[in-house]
Amino acid sequence: MPAPELVRRLQRGLAAGLITALALPPGARAQAPQAAASAAAVVPVPDATAADPAGDLTPPAQVAPVTVAADGLDLENADALKGLGKVALAGVAVYVMTESSGAATAGAAYRGSMAYVNSSLKVTGLDAARLQALADDAHDRVVAALKSRGVEVLPMAELQALPEYAALAALGDKAPLAIDASAGKGTVYSGRGLPLIHMDELAWLNRMVGGLFGAKVEDPFVSLGDRMASGFRKTRLDPALEALAKAAGASLAMVRIVLSPAQVKASGGAWSLSASAKVRDSLVMPAWTNRLWLLTPKGERARVSLKSALASETPPGRIVDVTSTASKVADVATTVLTFAAAFSGVGRGVSQSTKDLELRTTPDWFEAVARPQVDTALQALAQAVAP
């Protein structure tokens, strides 16, 4: 039997089972699930089995501009960002996230049915060489933005000639660096070959929300292992960074750019009657993790970051549903069998939904959206720095 026909028959079987449950006598129907939960991947995208739904990957003729609000920056130890005589740009890390997933369960607190939803998204069509060029361009834009603020930037050749620079580079990560973090998978590129330091943002400069006893913020672009290793890395990195700042006679600047082409957000809960997973087809630069970090020769640390996420109105590609027939069959079979068992007084019905999605793009399309957005963010971050 063809797989699509099998799916249709299983769906008809589920409908028949529900009709049968509703026709049960009141006493018997009381044994059926009491609370219904729904599972849905709320993604209005075409199916990959359609007639080439994402075949046209021509970059958009126009890209809607993005802006950072006048009060859109988060300043930490702002005084250290002022009165800068000279800055040495010691690192520009560009994170490009390419895989995201989300799952949620609903209805667990009720006697009735449950819902489970699981969605994943993968970005395709990007080119590593072009992304490296994007990181190199980001470096150059940082230099230009700082100079436009009247801040002198130490030439890279002078910085790299210092023995202390080689000591810092020896402690860095190999670039490009593949990462598997809580926010998903991606790759980190280093602009112009500068040292790449992939470390929990809280290790660069700790912060809390809600006062002394408030909850700490978390960096979703590092793994649990990275987070646990941050303390050990700092014992070696801090002296190396401080030594380089003193040797250069300048404040060290380290820039971090995070680009998330698409995101999956799942929602549900034990007391919820529905579970859903939503996908946003926007290039997002998250708050806080897009930042400029500064270390003065006196050892003072400061950070300026985006206060809220910067998201493009122009999609960075086309999202397509690539869920396999096997996954669809498994979803329907799980739903049918668990509901059938529940109607017989055994277990609970589980409404299951799985979605596998792709954001299909090209280097030209992605860069058409990313380059002006990165420039806008960097120009905004530089506004917090002054000679």
Q: What is the pLDDT of residues 160-214, one digit of tens each?
A: 999 999 999 999 999 999 999 999 999 999 999 999 999 999 999 987 655 555 5
What pLDDT does residue 326 have? 76
**pLDDT tens digits along 3-13:** 555 555 555 54
Domain presence at residue 57 = no
Contacts of 230 (CB under 8 A, 6+ apart): 199, 200, 202, 203
pLDDT of 41: 39
CA distances from 218 to 75, 203, 223 (A): 17, 11, 11
pLDDT reported for residue 8? 55
Domain that holds residue 362: 36-47+71-382
Q: What pLDDT sits at residue 355?
A: 83
pLDDT value for 216: 63
- Residue-level pLDDT at 24: 37
In a domain, 217, yes or no: yes
Residue 14 lies in a domain: no
**What b/e readout covers 304-323, taking b as 16+ CB neighbours within 10 angstroms?**
bbbbebbebebbbbbbbbbb
| Torsion angles phi and psi, residue 277, rounded to 5 | -135, 120
In a domain, 16, yes or no: no
DSSP 8-state secondary structure symbol assigned to residue 183: T
Q: CA 257 to CA 221: how far, in whole Å?
A: 11
Is 352 part of a structural domain of the chain?
yes
Is residue 59 in a domain? no
Q: Domain count for the chain, please give it.
A: 1
Q: Flag whether 172 is in a domain.
A: yes
Inside any domain, residue 122: yes
3-state class of 111 per DSSP?
A: coil
Residues of the chain whose pLDDT is less than 70?
1-55, 103-117, 208-216, 266-277, 329-332, 334, 336-337, 339, 341, 346-351
